Structure 1
Amino acid sequence: MKGGRGTRTGEVMEAIRRKMANGTLSPGERLPSIRRFAAAMGVSPSTVVEAYDRLAAEGVIRSRPGSGFYPSGAVPPLALAEMGPQPDRVIDPFWVSRQSLDTAAGMPKPGCGWLPADWMPGGMIRKAIRGLARAGDGLLVDYGGTRGSPDLRRLLARQFAEEGIAAGADRILLTASGTQAIDLVCRFLLRPGDTVLVDDPCYFNFQALLRAHRARIVGVPFTPAGPDIDRFTEALATHRPRLYITNSALHNPTGATLSPQTAHRLLNAAAVHDLTIVEDDIFTGFEPEPSPRLAALDGLARVIRIGSFSKTLSASIRCGYIAAREDWVEALADLQVATNFGGPSPVAAGVVCAVLGDGGYRRHLEALRRRLARARREATDRLGALGIRPWLMPRGGFYLWCRLPDGLDSADVARAALRDDVVLAPGNVFSVSQTASGFLRFNVAQMGEARVFDVLERSMMDRR
Structure 2
Amino acid sequence: MDEIRRRMAARTLAAGEKLPSVRGFAAEMCVSPSTVVEAYDRLAAEGLIRSRPGAGFFVAGALPPMLLAEVEPRLEREFDPFWVSRQSLDAGPDVLRPGCGWLPADWMPHASLRKALRGLSRADDAILADYGPTRGLLALRRLLARQLAAEGVAAGADQILLTGSGTQALDLLCRFFLQPGDTVLLDDPCYFNFQALLRAHRVRIVSVPWTPSGPDIARFEAAVATHRPRLYVTNSAIHNPTGATLSPPVAHRILTTAAAADMTIVEDDIFADFEPEPSTRLAALDGLARVVRIGSFSKTLSASVRVGYIAARGDWIEGLVDLQVATSFGGASPLAAELVHAMLSDGSYRKHMAALRTRLARRRKETIAALAEFGVEPWTLPRGGFTLWCRLPDGQDAADMARTALRQGVVLAPGNVFSVARTAPAMMRFNVAQMDPKVLDVLRAMPGLRPGQA
Deviations 1:345-376 (A, max 9, x none): 10000000000111111000000000001100
Corresponding position: 1:397 with 2:389: no
Q: What amino acid maps onto 1:51 in structure 2?
A: A
- Tell me the distance in 2 between the aligned counterparts of 1:318 and 1:459: 37
Q: Which residue of 2 aligns with 1:8?
A: none
Q: What amino acid maps onto 1:81 in structure 2?
A: A
* Match for residue 239 of structure 1 among 216, 223, 227: 227
Q: Which residue of 2 aligns with 1:267?
A: 255
Checking the alignment, whether the CA contact within 8 Å between 2:94 and 2:409 is kept in structure 1 is no
Q: Which residue of 2 aligns with 1:295?
A: 283
Corresponding position: 1:27 with 2:23: no
- Tell me the distance in 1 between the aligned counterparts of 2:301 and 2:449: 39
Instruction: Summarize the alignment of residues 172-321 of structure 1 with structure 2, pairs less than 5 Å apart.
Output: 172-321=160-309
1:175 positional shift? 0.3
Q: Which residue of 1 aligns with 2:80?
A: 92
Checking the alignment, whether the CA contact within 8 Å between 2:78 and 2:403 is kept in structure 1 is yes
Residues 376 and 206 of structure 1: CA distance in aligned 2, closer, same or farther (over 3 Å): same
1:88 positional shift? 1.2
Q: What amino acid maps onto 1:174 in structure 2?
A: L
SS of residue paired to 1:218: strand
Deviations 1:99-124 (A, max 9, x none): 11100023110000000111101111
* Match for residue 435 of structure 1 among 394, 411, 423: 423
Checking the alignment, whether the CA contact within 8 Å between 2:6 and 2:73 is kept in structure 1 is no
- Tell me the distance in 1 between the aligned counterparts of 2:377 and 2:406: 22
SS of residue paired to 1:321: strand
Q: What amino acid maps onto 1:180 in structure 2?
A: Q
Q: Which residue of 2 aligns with 1:9?
A: none
Corresponding position: 1:64 with 2:52: yes
Q: TM-score, normalised by structure 1?
A: 0.95
SS of residue paired to 1:198: strand
Q: Which residue of 1 aligns with 2:446?
A: 459
SS of residue paired to 1:17: helix
Deviations 1:8-48 (A, max 9, x none): xxxxx111111211111122222222222222222222111
* Match for residue 35 of structure 2 among 23, 36, 47: 47
Checking the alignment, whether the CA contact within 8 Å between 1:100 and 1:423 is kept in structure 2 is yes
Checking the alignment, whether the CA contact within 8 Å between 2:396 and 2:448 is kept in structure 1 is no
SS of residue paired to 2:127: helix
Deviations 1:430-460 (A, max 9, x none): 001111111100000001x211001012124
Checking the alignment, whether the CA contact within 8 Å between 2:137 and 2:337 is kept in structure 1 is yes
Corresponding position: 1:375 with 2:368: no
Q: Which residue of 2 aligns with 1:356?
A: 344
Q: Which residue of 1 aligns with 2:112?
A: 124
Corresponding position: 1:165 with 2:149: no
- Tell me the distance in 2 between the aligned counterparts of 1:129 and 1:167: 29
SS of residue paired to 1:144: coil
- Tell me the distance in 1 between the aligned counterparts of 2:430 and 2:282: 27
Q: What amino acid maps onto 2:442 in structure 1?
A: V
- Tell me the distance in 1 between the aligned counterparts of 2:6 and 2:426: 30
1:270 positional shift? 1.1
Checking the alignment, whether the CA contact within 8 Å between 2:120 and 2:338 is kept in structure 1 is yes
Q: What amino acid maps onto 2:66 in structure 1?
A: L
1:462 positional shift? 7.2
- Tell me the distance in 2 between the aligned counterparts of 1:18 and 1:51: 14
1:72 positional shift? 2.2
Corresponding position: 1:450 with 2:444: no
SS of residue paired to 2:395: coil
Q: TM-score, normalised by structure 2?
A: 0.97
1:202 positional shift? 0.3
Q: What amino acid maps onto 1:198 in structure 2?
A: L
- Tell me the distance in 2 between the aligned counterparts of 1:331 and 1:17: 35
Checking the alignment, whether the CA contact within 8 Å between 1:226 and 1:257 is kept in structure 2 is yes
Q: What amino acid maps onto 2:173 in structure 1?
A: V
- Tell me the distance in 2 between the aligned counterparts of 1:166 and 1:258: 20
- Tell me the distance in 2 between the aligned counterparts of 1:301 and 1:350: 30
1:70 positional shift? 2.0
- Tell me the distance in 2 between the aligned counterparts of 1:165 and 1:87: 41
- Tell me the distance in 1 between the aligned counterparts of 2:378 and 2:334: 41
Q: What amino acid maps onto 1:441 in structure 2?
A: R
Checking the alignment, whether the CA contact within 8 Å between 1:408 and 1:460 is kept in structure 2 is no
1:420 positional shift? 0.1
- Tell me the distance in 2 between the aligned counterparts of 1:47 and 1:230: 38
Checking the alignment, whether the CA contact within 8 Å between 2:374 and 2:449 is kept in structure 1 is no
Q: What amino acid maps onto 1:425 in structure 2?
A: A
Residues 283 and 328 of structure 1: CA distance in aligned 2, closer, same or farther (over 3 Å): same
SS of residue paired to 2:405: helix
- Tell me the distance in 1 between the aligned counterparts of 2:403 and 2:449: 11
Instruction: Give the % identical residues.
Output: 70
Q: What amino acid maps onto 1:250 in structure 2?
A: I
Deviations 1:261-307 (A, max 9, x none): 11111111111111110000000110001101000000000000000
Q: What amino acid maps onto 2:347 in structure 1?
A: G
- Tell me the distance in 2 between the aligned counterparts of 1:38 and 1:190: 29
* Match for residue 318 of structure 2 among 330, 335, 340: 330
1:381 positional shift? 0.6
SS of residue paired to 2:243: coil
Q: What amino acid maps onto 1:454 in structure 2?
A: D
